[in-house]
């Protein structure tokens, strides 16, 4: 059974996570895909191709991506290289305090170039990426022509 893990599963968006895939055949060629839907329902995806090591594992922090959205060793590459399915869209988080981005991480057999997020993965997991830490208070600012928000730590 193929297992995909992200550690920690829930974290702040600027914190690194570790992605690991276990249970593959040695030297198996796979596609790791990350995707999410933003608050407007727009889909953003990234993918990277990897060859499993002798133990049947893939770790983007140790193993170089052979191609896809990026190549080389980029531990956070699947998050950094998310691209919209629709041209000229930007990934923007509006509700920073109320909900996280939920990023779906999937491993697919072979080289998968399609953009259909319904392809059958060998394994998957979900990572929560928060933009405000626990206990942080958001105070709206309206002073003259200045508009903004002040985030106060607990």
C-alpha dist (Å) from residue 24 to 50, 52, 56, 122, 143:
11, 7, 4, 9, 57
Phi, psi of 99 (to 5 degrees): -155, 155
* Cis before 88 (ω within 30): no
Mean pLDDT of the chain: 94
Q: How far apart are CA 153 and CA 142, in angstroms?
A: 20
pLDDT of residue 116: 63
Contact 55, 26 (CB under 8 A): yes
Residue (of 128, 130, 41, 129) closest to 84 by Cα position: 41
Please report the domains of the chain, with CATH numbers, ordered by start residue.
Answer: 3-152 (2.60.40.2240)
C-alpha dist (Å) from residue 75 to 54, 85, 96:
20, 23, 24
Beta-carbon count within 10 A of 66 CB: 14
* Alpha helices (H) along 52-128: 77-80
Ranking 13-27, 43-57, 75-89, 104-118 by mean pLDDT, the lowest is 104-118
Tens-place pLDDT, residues 139-151: 999 999 999 999 9
Contact 52, 24 (CB under 8 A): yes
| Bridge partners for 109 per DSSP | 30
Query: Higher pLDDT residue, 52 or 96?
Result: 52
């Amino acid at each position: 059974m193929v297992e995909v893990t992200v550690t920690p599963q829930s974290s702040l968006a600027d914190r690194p996570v570790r992605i690991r895939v276990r249970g593959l055949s040695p030297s198996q060629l796979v596609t790791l895909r990350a995707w999410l839907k933003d608050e407007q329902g727009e889909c953003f995806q990234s993918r990277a191709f990897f060859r499993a090591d002798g133990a049947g594992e893939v770790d983007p922090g140790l193993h170089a991506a052979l191609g896809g959205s990026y190549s080389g060793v980029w531990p956070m590459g699947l998050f950094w290289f998310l691209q919209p399915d629709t041209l000229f869209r930007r990934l923007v988080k509006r509700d920073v305090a109320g909900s996280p981005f939920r990023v779906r991480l999937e491993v697919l057999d072979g080289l998968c170039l399609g953009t259909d997020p319904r392809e059958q993965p060998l394994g998957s997991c979900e990572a929560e990426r928060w933009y405000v830490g626990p206990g942080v208070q958001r105070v709206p600012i309206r002073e003259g022509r200045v508009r903004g928000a002040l985030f106060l730590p607990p």
